């Protein structure tokens, strides 16, 4: 990729990273080139800056080397994302790839783009009641089902009277969080596993997750036999709260995103499971789809969601039992990355590392 240029846009001093060249009407392969904007929602979840952005950038540079990329991260601020989208449209974006902070607020972004005849690819989070051109994501309902089934498998269905789980959901503004809830409910229905209390975590904040779980433990104490955490960040907060309350071992906790820290917690036995989504695959597909939209093509869809062409990918549950096969053999993280000195003994215990001296 050519050097990156920092461009100031708007009174909010919005910074959008532009990469590549915007002059050529066709790319090196003879196809139409243009400007594509990638608008991501936040950076507290590590995947966005460590996987989504760089993979999207690299894929776009490969398949459309003369395309220009405008990039912005909203920092979990819907108003800022609105400003970033308007700035991208003003700078001539031909396609918006939008991972919405707030799916309701994002409707105005899609409508503004439509007035300029700019297609919007909804990325990772669906935007309902808006003229979205395409939607690509992992199957959020299936994620919730995998998380719920992991709890059922770990806890069984014969809990003592008064026992149950805490449910730490994602942000209420994220439509995926609602789909996770639905998947969870479908699995828990009829099992006898009671949700003692539940919480929509503002901004997916691990700190707020920890604060809420701490408060619930003062009320429910040992009656809490598991925690549904919607992602690995909220899981980390829940685990910290239970550790601080003296719960050892920590009851089963779910997660999502297969962050390195979560994988290490699974190795150590502090987190029961995570859900792995090959985000690199999703980002690569999004870049491919964005270029197809740029060139006026109609990307292939696996289904329709509210009349929007949609491509859903399949997530995978990860526990100690399949961690080596999915995470290590799958090239997500190496043994060396996982088995740092703090986790060396735990890695040996589950067979990721050989015992010293053997």
Topology of the domain covering 4-132+278-313? Rossmann fold (3.40.50)
What pLDDT, on a 0 to 100 scale, did the predictor assign at position 20?
36
Per-residue pLDDT tens over the stretch 175-223? 999 999 999 999 999 999 999 999 999 999 999 999 999 999 999 999 9
Q: How far is 256 from 173, CA to CA, in rounded Å?
A: 18
**CA distance linking residue 315 with residue 313, whole number of Å:** 7
- pLDDT for the residue 31: 63
Residue ranges, the chain, pLDDT below 70? 1-31, 356-358
Domain parsing of the chain, residue ranges:
4-132+278-313, 140-277
Tell me how far apart the alpha carbons of residues 252 and 153 are, in angstroms, rounded to a whole number.
Answer: 10
Helix, strand and coil in the chain, % to nearest 5: 40, 20, 40
Residue 113: CA atoms inside 13 Å, Cβ hemisphere, count?
A: 29
Beta-bridge mates of residue 285: none
pTM of the model: 0.84
pLDDT of residue 10: 36
Please state which CATH class domain 140-277 belongs to: alpha beta
| Domain 4-132+278-313 matches domain 140-277 at the CATH topology level | yes
DSSP secondary structure string, 39-87?
EE--SSSTHIIIIIHHHHHHHHHHH-TT-EEEEEE-TT-HHHHHHHHHH
Q: What are phi and psi of 353, to 5 degrees?
A: -125, 145
Measure CA of the first residue to CA of the last residue in the chain; give whole Å: 47
Whole-number pLDDT of residue 45: 85
Please state, in angstroms and rounded to a whole number, the distance separating the CA atoms of residues 230 and 184. Answer: 10
Please list the residues that pair with 69 across neighbouring strands. Answer: 19, 36
Backbone angles phi, psi at 72, to 5 degrees: -155, 145
Sign of CA dihedral 158, 164, 170, 174: positive
């Amino acid at each position: 990729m050519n050097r990156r240029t920092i461009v100031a846009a708007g009174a909010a001093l919005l910074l959008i990273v532009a990469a590549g060249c915007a002059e050529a009407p066709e790319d090196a392969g003879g196809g139409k080139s243009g400007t594509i904007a990638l608008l991501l929602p936040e950076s507290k979840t590590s995947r966005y800056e460590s996987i989504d952005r760089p993979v999207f950038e690299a894929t776009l540079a490969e398949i459309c080397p003369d395309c220009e990329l405008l990039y912005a991260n909203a920092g979990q601020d819907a108003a800022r994302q609105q400003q970033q989208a308007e700035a991208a449209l003003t700078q001539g974006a031909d396609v918006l790839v939008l991972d919405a902070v707030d799916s309701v607020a994002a409707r105005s972004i899609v409508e503004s783009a439509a007035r300029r005849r700019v297609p919007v690819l909804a990325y990772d989070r669906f935007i309902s009641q808006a003229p979205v051109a395409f939607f690509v994501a992992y199957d959020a309902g299936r994620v919730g089902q995998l998380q719920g089934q992991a709890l059922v498998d770990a806890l069984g269905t014969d809990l003592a009277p008064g026992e149950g789980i805490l449910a730490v959901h994602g942000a209420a503004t994220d439509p995926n969080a609602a789909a996770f809830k639905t998947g969870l409910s479908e699995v828990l229905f009829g099992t006898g596993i009671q949700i003692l209390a539940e919480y929509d975590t503002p901004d997916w904040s691990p700190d707020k997750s920890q604060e809420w779980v701490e408060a619930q433990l003062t009320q429910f104490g040992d009656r809490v036999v598991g925690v549904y955490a919607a992602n690995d960040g909220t899981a980390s907060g829940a685990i910290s709260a239970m550790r601080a309350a003296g719960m050892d071992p920590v009851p089963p906790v779910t997660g999502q995103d297969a962050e390195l820290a979560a994988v290490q917690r699974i190795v150590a036995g502090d987190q029961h499971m995570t859900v792995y989504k090959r985000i690199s695959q999703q980002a690569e597909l999004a870049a491919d789809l964005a270029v197809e939209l740029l060139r006026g093509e109609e990307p292939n869809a696996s289904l329709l969601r509210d009349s929007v062409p949609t491509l859903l990918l399949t997530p995978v549950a990860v526990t100690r039992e399949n961690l080596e096969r999915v995470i290590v053999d799958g090239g997500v993280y190496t043994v060396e990355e996982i088995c740092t000195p703090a986790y060396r003994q735990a890695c040996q215990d589950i067979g990721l590392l050989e015992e010293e001296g053997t």
